[in-house]
Chains A and B, each alone.
Chain A
Amino acid sequence: MVKLVNLVKTLRSKNAGPFLTTMDIFFEDRESYERVKNSGVITKELVAKLYGIPINDVVGLYYYDPAMGIKITIIKPHGWISGDPENTDVLGCSQHVPLQDIEIP
C-alpha cells in the first residue's frame, strides 16, 4: 500500500465557480496513473465519506487518459461556498488535503 500523495505529480483543488470544488490528480508516469485507475479505490462513495457530503453531491469522477489525469468534482458543502461568512478558502485551493492519505494497493 502507498499513499496517493506519494504517487502523484499534481494533487490540487480549485473552485469551478463558487458552488463547486474540483480536485485534479496528475501523474509523472503512466504506470502510476494506471495503478491508481485500475485499483478502483477512488470512488464516489470514498469521496463522499472523506468530505462528509451526500454521494449525490459528488457530481463527477473522471479519468482522462490523454492527460493521465483524474478529476473529482463536488458540490460544496455549507461553509465552503466562496465568500460566505463561514468560508475559509475563497479560491478553494487548499481543499485537496483529505485526498492525500488515500491508500492505493
Chain B
Amino acid sequence: MLRELKDLSFVNMGYGWYPETVKEALKWEPDVIVGQGTSTDPGPGYLGSSDIYPYTERFNQKKDAEIIALARENNIPFIVSAGTPSGSNLHLEGFLRIVDEICKGSGIKFRAAVISGEVDKEYIKTKLAKGEKMRRLVDTPRVSEFLTLDEVDRSVKIVSQMGPEPIMKALGMDVDGVITGRALDVGLHMAMPLKRGFDKGLAAHMAKVIECGALAAVPEVIDIMFGILREDHFLVKAPNPSLRCTVRSVAGHSFYERPDPSKELNPGGYLDISEAKYEQVDERTVKVWGSKWVPSDKYFVKIEGIKPIGYRTINVAGIRDPRMIKHIDPFLESVSEEVRKRFAEVEEDYTLMFRVYGKNGVLSEWEPKKEITSHELCIITEAIAKTQELATAVVAYARGKLLFWNYPGRTTTAGNVACPYSPFDIKMGEAYVWNIWHLMELDDPCEPFKVRVVDFPRNKPWEGLK
C-alpha cells in the first residue's frame, strides 16, 4: 500500500475555523492536526504586551483551541504553536489556561509536550561572551550587523523560531500532542513527516503550501486546508467544497510573505522549488512534485527581540472646514511650535507627530499626490514620551491648540476639530520597536527550547513564569 501522511492544517490565531469543514476533513482521516498561532507580522507591540490575550482575546482563542478537543475525541495527534501572536511564555500560558478550561468543560484528559519559544537572555549572552557572532538576517542599518550584549540587555523579551527538530523530539515523549510557543510555521507541519521518514523537500513544500490554511485555494478565505504527503509527491485540497486548489493558487502561494518565490531559507538548509511541478488532478485538487531540500553545513535559528521606546498617547480628530484643510501644513507646524515652547524644559523626553489621513496618512513622504482633494481630514496626534503622563500631557496640550489655534480666514472660534471620543485622548501604554532580528547558530537544534511534559487539565498555572 502507498505510504502517505495526511495533515489537516488550521490557523490558530483566533480568526476561526468552520465546524462543518472540519467535520468534512475528519472524514478524510487526518494523521495529524496542525495549527500555526504565532507571527511577527502584527508588529513589535505584541511581544512587549503584558496582556495575556493581546491579539484576538480569550473568546476567539478558545474557539480555535476547541479543535484540540476534536483531535483528542478522534485520537489524532495535534501540533500547534500558540501564544498568539508573539509566542512568548506569557502568551503561551494564556493558551494553556484555555486548554485547561476546554478539558474541564468537556471532561477530556491528555498529555502534551509544551515547548517554550522564548529564549533566556542569559543563554544568548553566554554565547556572545564566548565570541559567537550572530549576524542580522536583513542588511538594514536599523539593527546592528552583529548582535551586541548591549542590545540583548535593552531587549524586553527574545523569542526564537524553533525548527521541526524540538517538535520531533517531543513527539517521541509518549504524548498526545505538542503545544509550542514561537515556532517556524513550516516546521510544525514538517515535524511528523520527518519523524516518519518522508522526503524533506516535499515535506517542506507541502508545509509551505498549507501552513496558512485555505489561503492557497481560491477564493482566498480563512479556512482549513488538507495535505496528503506521499513518497514522491503531495496533494493539496481544501475540505470546504466551495474552495478550489488550482495550479496557480498553489504555485502562487509560495509568494506569500516571502522574499523569494522559489528559494526559502530555513533552519538547517533551504527549500528549492524552482524545479517543482504542479498538476491539476481534479477540479479541487493539485499534485506537486520536484521540490528539493538543500541542506547547509550549519544550523541557524532566527531570534526576534524588542526594546521599549517610551509610552504612547494618541488623539483622533476630524477636520471638515475647507479653509482649515487648505492651511493644514502651516497650521500643524504652528501647533508643534506651541508644544515646543510649552515643553521646552523636557524637550529631550518626548516626540510629537501628526498623521494626516486624507493627505498622506498611508504613504507619508512616498505619496505621489501632493494636492489634497478630500473634503475632510483625519488627524491622529501622537506623542511618545518617557512617561505615560508626559505623553498624555503633550497630546492634551496639542489637542487644545488643534481646537483653538488660529489660521487665515478662520470662522470657527468655538473649536476647529471634531473629536469623536470622550475622554479625548487614548493612553496606549508602553511602545516597542524591533531591535533583534538576527541568526543564532546552534550545535543542537533543540538546545534553547525547553520541553515540559504536561498533563491537561493542569491543577495550577505555569510555575516560575516571568
Contact = CB atoms under 8 A, between A and B. Distances in A.
Interface of A: 14-20, 22, 24, 26, 51-52, 59-60, 62, 64, 66-69, 71, 73, 75-76, 78-79, 81-86, 88-91, 94-95, 97-98
Nearest to A89: B362
B53 interface: no
B428 to A, nearest CB: 12
Given A17-B137, A52-B366, A82-B43, A22 B258 contact: yes
B371 interface: no
Given A15-B41, A98-B368, A66 B140 contact: no
Contact of B364 (A60, A75, A88): A88
A82 to B, nearest CB: 5
Nearest to B357: A88
A71 B365 CA distance: 24
A17 B252 contact: no
B419 interface: no
Contact of B258 (A16, A67, A94): A16
Contact of A69 (B139, B142, B261): B261
A83 B138 contact: no
A22 B257 contact: yes
B293 interface: no
A48 B365 CA distance: 15
A75 B138 contact: yes
Given A16-B259, A90-B41, 4 more contacts: A24-B252, A64-B262, A67-B255, A98-B368
Counting chain B CB atoms within 10 Å of each CB, which of A16, A90, A95 scores highest? A16
Contacts of B259: 16, 20, 22, 59-60, 73
Interface string B256-285: 111111100000000000001110000000
A34 B304 CA distance: 39
Interface residues of B, number: 45
B351 A85 contact: yes
Contact of B140 (A62, A76, A89, A95): A76
Nearest to B253: A67
B44 interface: yes
B260 A71 contact: yes
Contacts of B139: 75
Counting chain B CB atoms within 10 Å of each CB, which of A66, A73, A89 scores highest? A66
Counting chain B CB atoms within 10 Å of each CB, which of A52, A78, A81 scores highest? A81
Contacts of A18: 40, 43-44, 434, 437
Contact of A83 (B45, B260, B363, B365): B45
A71 B40 contact: no
A85 B247 contact: no
A68 B251 CA distance: 9
A98 B40 contact: no
A19 B137 CA distance: 9
Contact of B384 (A67, A81, A85): A85
Contacts of A67: 248, 251-252, 254-255, 261
B156 to A, nearest CB: 13
A52 to B, nearest CB: 7
Contact of B437 (A17, A64, A78, A98): A17
Contacts of A79: 364-365
Contacts of B140: 19, 75-76, 81
Nearest to B140: A19
B63 interface: no
Nearest to B46: A83
Interface string B106-135: 000000000000000000000000000000
B260 A88 contact: no
A94 B363 CA distance: 8
Given A66-B251, A89-B362, A81 B257 contact: no
B232 to A, nearest CB: 18
Which 6 A-B pairs give the minimum distances between C-beta atoms? Answer: A67-B251, A83-B43, A67-B252, A66-B251, A83-B44, A19-B138
A78 B365 CA distance: 11
Interface in B40-84: 40-45
A10 B120 CA distance: 42
A66 B437 CA distance: 32
A27 B309 CA distance: 42
Counting chain A CB atoms within 10 Å of each CB, which of B45, B142, B255 scores highest? B255
A67 B431 CA distance: 40
A50 B351 CA distance: 29
B355 interface: yes
B353 interface: yes
A16 B260 CA distance: 9
A51 B261 contact: no
A63 to B, nearest CB: 9
Counting chain B CB atoms within 10 Å of each CB, which of A18, A51, A52 scores highest? A18
5 contacts: A16-B259, A64-B254, A64-B261, A64-B262, A94-B363
Given A52-B366, A68-B248, A24 B255 contact: yes
Contacts of B448: none
